[in-house]
Amino acid sequence: MRKSWLFLLFLLSIGVMIPRVALEAQPQATPEKKIRIALFAPLYLDSAFDKNSEYRYGPKQFPKFIVPGLEFYEGALLALDSLRKEGVAIELLVFDNKAAHKTIDAQLSSPACQGVDLIITYCSASELKLFANAGKERKIPVVNINLPNDGGVLQNPYLVLLNSTLPSQCQSIYSYIRNRFSKHQLVVFQKKGALETRIRSYIEEAARKRGGTSSPIKFVELTDSFTVQQLIPWLDTLKSTMCWVGSVEENFGKRICQQLAGLAKQRYKLTVMGMPTWDGIKEFSKTEYRGADLFFCTPFYSPRTDSLSQSIETFFGSQLYARPSDMVLRGYEAVWRFSKLILRYQKDITLHLGSREFALFRETDVQPTIFATQPGVIQYYENKKLYYLKWQDGFLKPAN
């Protein structure tokens, strides 16, 4: 696996402009149908290689922080190869978000990045605004594949977030709880923090929007050193309680789930709901977390039973000796889907950013976000589709 990844990194380290030639799809289509895509990923090439293209780490070392961006890049390449087989002409321009000597602004302003039809990003929240502004100025779509927030971007109908923002997550989770667990009393456990305060406001707003006669929500703020005795007063052995862990901090979620699972074994009737950040917690399969069903949602769920997912897994297993992560599928999905939309709608692509055509791996529901104080003004587009999963007796499965 290391040799294969190192080979990809070496190609990139020679110069990120190599893909302009090496990855250009053949055979060529007519010039007006040629698509130029700028792909920005955190590749950390300057961290991996020195100025002489010498690998900085040992022959058996491969830094984990490089892997997500590299897998995203590999997924994009696989999509490019599939489109090439269909005769689609694409020029893929790959840029490193984390380049030490060239800022994102400089890369966006470079001659290579001029005249692109689409910008696809895997970036930080602080970087998103730079990409969004470039898309708005050029009137081209900017697709982000990872962020659960808008990075402060407003009034930009060219930005597409394939993740769901925190307000949308809270709205969906609240509706799911009220529909699926309508007879449960609802308790939201939180730690103290600015983000948790925002989450509370989003939950309260979701409750106001839903209206009706739902029972009131009980918010409980816990210290970092909370004990199981502080949880018991909010639970019951006769009435069912939905315990919503209203924090994105994984360690807080794991600690409270372990204690709630122990209480469930003592006949307390409870179910636990978490935030999408639980998607990466594998410890929930361990014995100490069994006893209570642990729910969470994610916009990126794929059972990987379709032929395309299986072929990607086969490729990774035979060529890279690894299993493709979710980032590979995100890279493939973004390049494939939005290339297809550009081919179909050409200059009218921005009128069809919410189209459900050309879906791969999962369903999405990309909708414009419009603030109540500015009716009719599109702030950005975001994916509202969330999948609900649960850990039950050590196994992860889709929730009903």
By CB neighbour count within 10 A (0-12 exposed, 13-18 middle, 19+ buried), where does 323 fall? exposed
Q: What is the pLDDT of residue 135?
A: 97
137 and 206 together in one domain: no
Does any domain span residue 121? yes
Asked if 138 and 212 sit in the same domain, the reply is no
Do residues 155 and 232 both lie within one domain? no
pLDDT tens per residue, range 330-371 = 999 999 999 999 999 998 999 999 999 999 999 999 999 987
Q: Give 177's contacts (C-beta < 8 A, 6+ positions apart).
A: 184, 186, 242, 244, 273
Q: If we measure between CA atoms, which residue out of 349, 298, 384 comes closest to residue 37?
A: 349
Q: Please tell me the predicted confidence (pLDDT) of residue 280.
A: 87
Q: Which residues of the chain have pLDDT under 70?
A: 1-33, 48-62, 213, 372
Strand order in the sheet with 185-191: 218-222, 185-191, 241-245, 270-273, 294-298, 387-392, 395-398
pLDDT at 58: 64
Residue 42: inside a domain, yes or no? yes
User: In the Cβ-directed half-sphere of 173, how many Cα atoms lie within 13 Å?
Assistant: 32
- The boundaries of the domain holding residue 218 are 166-298+388-398
Same domain for 229 and 347, yes or no, is no
Cis peptide before 111 (omega within 30 of 0): no
162, 145 Cβ separation under 8 angstroms: yes
> Are 21 and 135 within one domain?
yes
Distance CA 240, CA 332 (A): 42
Structure confidence at residue 205 (pLDDT):
94
Strands 241-245 and 218-222: unpaired
> Does one domain contain both 41 and 157?
yes
In a domain, 380, yes or no: no
Residue 371 lies in a domain: no
Question: Do 352 and 238 reside in the same domain of the chain?
Answer: no
- Into how many domains does the chain fold? 2
Do 206 and 173 lie in a common domain? yes
pLDDT at 18: 34
341 lies in some domain:
yes
Greatest C-alpha distance within the chain: 70
Query: Is position 83 within any domain?
Result: yes
Do 293 and 311 share a domain, yes or no?
no
What pLDDT score does 66 carry?
86
Q: Are residues 189 and 267 in the same domain?
A: yes
d(CA 352, CA 341): 8
